[in-house]
Chain A
Amino acid sequence: GENVEQHPSTLSVQEGDSAVIKCTYSDSASNYFPWYKQELGKGPQLIIDIRSNVGEKKDQRIAVTLNKTAKHFSLHITETQPEDSAVYFCAAWMDSSYKLIFGSGTRLLVRP
């Protein structure tokens, strides 16, 4: 069935270190993969997205990589800062069911 698995569920890093969050998806026809950041008490906000015709995309300290063969994609945050602390959700557009399916989220804590 349609599924997006996200790991780890929690991640604690020292300020300045890198953080990596990984997701796998089930629908081989998926072609759109956004990442959302949710701060406490707020709704999720898009931070970066990638489409299946691209293997990697960068935006300052944030990058996303996509491996369509293995059906997984990852979020990379470099030089982490305390304000990066939040819950991060990956998502995949399921062409088979016409739905955007989210992962279960990763709580990132950046220790000063």
Chain B
Amino acid sequence: KAGVTQTPRYLIKTRGQQVTLSCSPISGHRSVSWYQQTPGQGLQFLFEYFSETQRNKGNFPGRFSGRQFSNSRSEMNVSTLELGDSALYLCASSKTGTDTGELFFGEGSRLTVL
């Protein structure tokens, strides 16, 4: 069975631009959560979507937003990019949510902001 697919895998943007990242979960998984990974900071929770509804969000500014479509695919958007937004953005899917069991992570989208 296909795993979690994230696109694009790598991208370079300049300050002030915006970016959209995409995540296709494992078939049948209704929960998609997003994490930001930076060296020394671990995985910082961005938000979780379940059946097109945002279940929760982390402590990130409003420039970070997301959505989930009826087929469970999810996108996250970062507007007005800052240098500090450079990171690996990981998406994870699960059948029932982050509180009840295993998360299946994609390989991430590595964003570099110049």
Contacts and interface: CB of A to CB of B under 8 A. Distances in A.
Nearest to A98: B56
Contacts, number: 57
Instruction: Assign chain B's interface to a size class.
Output: 20 to 34
Given A89-B42, A98-B56, A99-B45, A43 B108 contact: yes
Interface string A25-42: 000000010101000011
Interface residues of A, dominant DSSP: strand
Interface string B26-70: 000000010100001111110010000001101000000000000
The winner among B40, B55, B103 for most chain A CB atoms within 10 A is B103
Interface of B: 4, 33, 35, 40-45, 48, 55-56, 58, 90, 92, 98-103, 105-108
